[in-house]
């Protein structure tokens, strides 16, 4: 059966995924909007940076986050100067890592949704007296709603499934940085296979339900 | 919004735009009247839509000037550019472009709610009634026909009480019955609203029915601009060379002949008989006379079936196509076109200044 | 068809002939023994002509892999209980077990002057993070926890503990400065009789159970002379000198 530590890990994981998803939607929306609309020469480069976590091994991301957020890294120096202290081994650090790690899973669906809207509705809104921000909230957001749902679900699920980055920067602190995937790893390492099964099976069911939900939505919107 | 007297204020629209893309350049200077419908006419690629988009501010010409009734919307020399959403204009796109997430009513309200109460001169009810869309209000756009969508789009633009209405081939995407469905509504706009309309079209038929002023565009430049009755008969322009070349005649209903079911129109003091109309005496109508329906005779003849025989004077001649000659006539100060065979022109010895008679085989009422 | 078969037989014969004197041996090595083992393997290859394939990792993980049929022939663990367990379970060759090194625990900081030579820094607790290897799976982690308990600071420092998955990752936490100090294997920060940098306290051996590191020949290496040769080599004088130079006891 599952212990209090396991439940703590589940709660922590859900918290991490929720906070990460919320931040990603706020950050990812302008980035995706810019990527969808810009004709800038930097579009390719920015798009590639956003997509990096898709191809990089999580250990690479984790390693560089550990170094850059460390006391001698640029982010670490910044956070220390701001009086926040160092990010590794903290919940905030996991959030930063997760935001970067799950960025493409939020930005790309949003970018696709924005691109699908096209230029015309924006022009129509302008001829109907709506300014840029007004247009974004009254036209773009409602038209891109399916994209936002997909982005939120994928961002949340991908953060829940995160392992390598957390392992590298988390320090495995119960109730602070020990998420479900790390807890499973610990159980397996310690040969606690029964406990590992409970959590692993839970992850399988969760992931299946998420994908099922997404497929349903896709079919629904295609109809 | 900045207000400044336009130099050489016309009271209408004054516009100058220079804008270049790879492979295409727009270089247009325009003066359009403050009332009525101005048609931007030309083939595809002539720059009609680009010019309209410049007027709307959807496209920004870095070398540009635009003033409406003396109010300057763009003057790049002073770095002035009023963005589209701050211009009191209505724009109807080629495809209706209704917001798919909003009902017809919410689509109509979208623009209207963004206009201050003080600026509102067209009520929502008026716009709805003008376009006849009361039964559609609670529907979603996806459940409308193409013609219905376009009517909603026009009403949506009108509901913002625009001081300038821009229409980009609003009928082009529709089939003939849908066009016929919408044209009467457009004519009503013309009659009921005192706002200038700039209407892009490549269909002469639409221009003949709707336009008061015509701007002919070619390769991004203005080839001709003037009242429709003046521009259409010009032999140096492509209108006259068209197989279906015609002129537009503005006339008044003068009398009804019940017995033969005919109506007598009058233009410039000359009578023009037409199939019986259901219009009050004194009403202004617009009729179309095709160049190929006008033949010429040196004497006034009463032994033919042709009803309308008008005294005219030859203004100029031009070879239309092999074997054909176009003759521009002056009938009591109004221009008519006649297309005859070159052989007839030679046999009759037609030369500019000559007095003769125009036999008009058919007159079609436009509105 | 016959010609192909003949060729294959010839090739196989040639390969097996060559394999007899110079064989390959696959070795699972506890992460703390990484540096000395690389040196020893290089010497061994030069002296015998055999080829050594090394895999480094956590002892607990190797245990799980070996029990599930991983094809290692020799196992250098970070403790003495895991090889014994493998021997009991019949996965290792009975009687092949020997102690190849005795680990030394060190409290280390990448910065000079942070760790004093009596470990008083632990009692003052003036730091944010103390890194240890996962005590559930890594012997050095278990030894570190024993030290903390013995010093009576285990509960006080519990909130400051960050846990590396193995002793190598723990070293990374401390070396990058994200944890100010941590319990490591002396071999990780010690070469040729001196500290590679920073400040350290060599934890007295009596504060924890001895970190006896045992090696054992696995079932897959039972009939491999090369595996046996490497096991013998580890007990030789050349290997002993290398092992000592990294601060291990013998």
Which letter, b or e, does each residue of A186-202 get, where b requires 16 or more Cβ atoms within 10 Å of its Cβ? bbbbbeeeebbeebbee
Which chain B residues in 52-81 lie under 8 Å from chain A, judged by CB atoms?
56-58
Both tokens of C186, joined, read 């002396």
Instruction: Compare A151 and C192 and report the one with higher pLDDT.
Output: A151
CATH number at B246-365: 2.40.50.100
Q: Does B97 touch chain A (CB under 8 A)?
A: yes
Q: Does A10 map to a domain?
A: yes
Neighbours of C (≥3 Cβ pairs closer than 8 A)? A
Closest approach of chain C CAs to the CA of A1, in angstroms? Answer: 19
The confidence score (pLDDT) of residue C132 equals 96
Residue A21 and residue B289: Cα distance in Å, rounded? 69
| Residue predicted with more confidence, A210 or A36 | A36
CATH architecture of C24-102+211-245: 3-Layer(aba) Sandwich (3.40)
The verdict on residue A122 lying in a domain is no
pLDDT for A223: 45
Quick check: helix, strand or coil at residue B229? Answer: helix
State the Cα–Cα distance between residues B42 and C7, nearest whole angstrom.
81
By the 8 A CB rule, do A154 and A107 touch? no
**Which residue among A128, A131, A142 places its CB closest to the CB of B160?**
A128
Q: What is the pLDDT of residues A53-92, one digit of tens each?
A: 999 988 888 889 988 998 888 999 999 899 888 888 889 9
Residue A220: what pLDDT?
61
| Mean per-residue pLDDT, B312-321 | 87
Residues above pLDDT 90, as percent of chain A: 61
Tally C-beta pairs within 8 A across A and B: 58
- Quick check: is A121 in a domain? no
8 Å CB contact between C199 and A93: no
DSSP track, chain C: -HHHHHHHHHHHHHHHHHHTTS-EEEEEEEGGGHHHHHHHHHHHHHHH--EEEEEEE-HHHHHHHHHTT---SEEE-SSSHHHHHHHHTTSB-TT--EEEEEE-EEEEESSTTSS-TT-HHHHH--SS-EEEE-TTT-HHHHHHHHHHHHHT-HHHHGGGEEEESSHHHHHHHHHTTSSSEEEEEHHHHEETTEE-SSEEEE--GGGS--EEEEEEEBGGGTT-HHHHHHHHHHTSHHHHHHHHHTT-B-
Q: Out of 3.40.190.10, 3.40.50.1370, 3.90.1150.10, 3.30.420.40, select the CATH number for domain C105-202.
A: 3.40.190.10
| Cβ separation B93–A124 shorter than 8 A | yes
Q: pTM of the predicted model, to two decimals?
A: 0.78
Number of domain units in chain A: 1
Residue A176 belongs to some domain of the structure: yes
Q: Is A81 part of a structural domain of the chain?
A: yes
pLDDT at B120 over 80: yes
Is the Cβ of B91 closer than 8 Å to some Cβ of chain A? Answer: yes
Sign of the torsion angle spanned by Cα atoms B338, B342, B346, B352: positive
Inside any domain, residue A119: no
CATH number at residue A25: 1.10.3720.10
Contact C178 A86 (CB under 8 A): yes
* Whether C and A touch (3+ CB pairs < 8 Å), yes or no: yes
* pLDDT of the residue at B205: 81
Report pLDDT for B172.
84
Check pLDDT > 90 for residue B155. yes
What does DSSP say about strands B80-81 and B71-75: parallel, antiparallel, or unpaired?
Answer: antiparallel
The pLDDT value given to residue B4? 40
Is B83:B58 a contact under the CB 8 Å cutoff?
A: no
Residues in A closer than 8 angstroms to B155, CB to CB, are: none
pLDDT score, position C105: 94
Task: Calculate mean pLDDT across residues A93-106.
Answer: 94
Instruction: Tell me which residues of chain C have a pLDDT lower than 70.
Output: 1-21
| CATH number assigned to the domain covering B13-231 | 3.40.50.300
User: Looking at residue A154, what is its pLDDT?
Assistant: 93
Q: How far apart are CA B26 and CA A101, in angstroms?
A: 48
Contacts of A123 in chain B (CB under 8 A): 58, 84, 91, 93
B89 touches chain A (CB under 8 A): yes
Determine the Cα–Cα distance for residues B35 and B210; give it in Å rounded to an integer: 13
- C219 or A170: which carries more pLDDT confidence? C219
- 3+ Cβ–Cβ pairs closer than 8 Å linking B and C: no
pLDDT in tens, B77-92: 999 999 999 999 999 9
Decide if A138 is inside a domain.
no
Residue A38 has pLDDT above 60, yes or no: yes
Count Cβ atoms within 10 A of the Cβ of residue A112 and give its class: 0-12 exposed, 13-18 middle, 19 or more buried. Answer: middle
User: Which tokens sit at A219?
Assistant: 């079919």
Domain with CATH 3.40.190.10 in chain C: 24-102+211-245, 105-202
User: Taking 60 as the threshold, does the pLDDT of residue A160 lie above it?
Assistant: yes
Within a 10 A sphere around the Cβ of A100, how many other Cβ atoms?
A: 19
Percent of chain B residues topping a pLDDT of 70: 97
Q: Which of C106, C121, C134 is nearest to C203 (CA)?
A: C106
Q: Where do the structural domains in chain B lie, given as residue ranges? A: 13-231, 246-365
Q: Find, among B166, B177, B230, B176, the residue nearest to B203 by Cα.
A: B176
Percent of chain A with pLDDT over 70: 97
User: Residue B230 burial (CB < 10 Å; 0-12/13-18/19+)?
Assistant: middle
- Read off the pLDDT of each residue in B284-291 and give the average, rounded to a whole number: 90
Contact C133, C57 (CB under 8 A): no
- Interface check C166 vs A, CB under 8 A: no
Average pLDDT, chain B: 89
Question: B95, B94, B159, B166: which is closest to B124 by C-alpha?
Answer: B159
What pLDDT score was predicted for residue A1?
67
Domain assignment present for residue A74? The answer is: yes
The alpha-carbon radius of gyration of chain B (Å, integer) is 23
Which of A127, A132, A137, A223 best probes binding to B when mutated, by most B CB atoms within 10 angstroms? A127
Range of the structural domain that residue A189 is part of: 4-38+46-114+146-222
């Amino acid at each position: 059966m599952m212990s209090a530590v396991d439940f703590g890990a589940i709660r922590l994981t859900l918290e991490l995924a929720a906070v990460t998803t919320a931040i990603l939607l706020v950050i990812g929306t302008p980035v995706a909007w810019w990527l969808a609309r810009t004709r800038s020469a930097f579009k390719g480069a920015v798009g590639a940076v956003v997509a990096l976590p898709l191809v990089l091994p999580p250990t690479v991301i984790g390693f560089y986050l550990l170094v850059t957020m460390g006391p001698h890294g640029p982010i670490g120096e910044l956070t220390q100067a701001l009086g926040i202290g160092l990010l590794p081994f903290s919940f905030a650090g996991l959030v930063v890592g997760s935001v970067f790690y799950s960025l493409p899973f939020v930005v790309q669906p949003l970018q696709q949704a924005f691109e699908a809207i096209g230029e015309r509705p924006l022009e129509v809104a302008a001829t109907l007296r709506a300014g840029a921000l007004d247009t974004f909230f009254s036209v773009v957001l409602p038209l891109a709603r399916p994209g936002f749902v997909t982005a939120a679900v994928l961002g949340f699920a991908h953060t829940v499934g995160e392992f390598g980055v957390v392992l590298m920067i988390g320090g495995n602190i119960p109730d602070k940085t020990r998420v479900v995937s790390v807890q499973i790893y610990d159980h397996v390492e310690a040969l606690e296979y029964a406990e590992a099964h409970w959590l692993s099976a839970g992850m399988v069911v969760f992931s299946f339900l998420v994908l099922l939900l997404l497929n349903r939505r896709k079919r629904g919107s295609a109809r | 919004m900045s207000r400044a007297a336009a130099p050489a204020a016309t009271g209408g629209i004054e516009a100058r735009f220079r804008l270049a893309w790879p492979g295409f350049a727009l270089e247009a200077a325009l003066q359009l009247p403050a009332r009525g419908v101005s048609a931007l006419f030309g083939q595809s690629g002539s720059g009609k839509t680009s010019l309209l988009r410049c007027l709307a501010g959807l496209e920004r010409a870095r070398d540009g000037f635009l003033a409406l009734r003396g109010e300057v919307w763009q003057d790049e020399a002073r770095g002035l550019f009023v963005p589209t959403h701050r211009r009191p204009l209505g724009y109807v796109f080629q495809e209706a472009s209704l917001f798919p997430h909003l009902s017809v009513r919410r689509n109509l309200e979208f623009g209207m709610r963004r206009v201050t109460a003080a600026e509102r001169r067209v009520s929502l009810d008026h716009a709805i009634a003008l376009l006849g869309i009361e039964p559609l209000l609670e529907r979603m756009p996806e459940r409308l026909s193409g013609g219905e969508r376009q009517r909603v789009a026009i009403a949506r633009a009108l509901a913002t009480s625009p001081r300038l209405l821009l229409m980009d081939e609003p009928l082009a995407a529709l089939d003939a019955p849908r066009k016929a469905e919408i044209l009467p509504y457009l004519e009503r706009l013309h009659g009921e609203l005192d706002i200038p309309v700039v209407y892009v079209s490549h269909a002469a038929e639409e221009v003949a029915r709707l336009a008061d002023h015509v701007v002919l565009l070619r390769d991004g430049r203005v080839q001709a601009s003037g009242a429709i009755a003046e521009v259409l008969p010009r032999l140096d322009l492509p209108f006259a060379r068209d197989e279906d070349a015609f002129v537009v005649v503005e006339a008044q209903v003068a009398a009804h002949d019940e017995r033969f079911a005919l109506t007598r129109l009058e233009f410039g003091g000359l009578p023009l008989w037409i199939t019986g109309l259901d219009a009050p005496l004194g009403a202004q109508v617009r009729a179309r006379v095709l160049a190929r329906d006008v033949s010429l005779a040196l004497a006034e003849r009463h032994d033919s079936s042709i009803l309308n025989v008008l005294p005219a004077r030859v203004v100029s001649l031009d070879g239309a196509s092999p074997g054909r000659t176009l003759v521009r006539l002056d009938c009591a100060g109004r221009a008519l076109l006649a297309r005859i065979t070159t052989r007839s022109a030679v046999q009759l010895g037609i030369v500019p200044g000559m007095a003769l008679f125009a036999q008009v085989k058919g007159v079609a009422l436009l509105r | 068809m016959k010609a192909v078969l003949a060729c294959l037989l010839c090739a196989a014969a040639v390969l097996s002939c060559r394999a007899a004197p110079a064989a390959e041996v696959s070795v699972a090595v506890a992460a703390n023994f990484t540096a000395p083992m690389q040196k020893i393997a290089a010497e061994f290859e030069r002296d015998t002509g055999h080829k050594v394939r090394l895999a480094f990792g956590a002892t607990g993980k190797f245990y799980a892999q070996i029990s599930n049929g991983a094809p290692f022939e020799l196992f250098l663990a970070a403790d003495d209980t895991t090889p014994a367990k493998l021997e009991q379970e019949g996965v290792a060759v009975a009687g092949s077990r020997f102690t190849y090194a005795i680990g030394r625990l060190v409290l280390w900081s990448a910065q000079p002057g942070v760790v004093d030579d009596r470990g008083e820094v632990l009692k003052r607790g003036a730091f944010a993070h103390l890194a240890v290897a996962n005590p559930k799976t890594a012997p050095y982690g278990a030894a570190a926890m024993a030290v903390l308990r013995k010093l009576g600071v285990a509960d006080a420092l519990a909130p400051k503990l960050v846990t590396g998955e193995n002793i190598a990752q723990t070293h990374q936490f401390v070396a990058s400065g994200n944890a100010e100090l941590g319990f490591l294997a002396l071999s990780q920060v010690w070469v040729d009789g001196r500290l590679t940098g920073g400040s350290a306290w060599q934890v007295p051996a009596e504060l924890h159970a001895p970190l006896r590191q045992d090696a054992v020949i696995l079932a897959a290496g039972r009939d491999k002379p090369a595996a046996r040769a490497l096991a013998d080599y580890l007990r030789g004088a050349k290997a002993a000198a290398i092992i000592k130079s990294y601060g291990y006891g013998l």
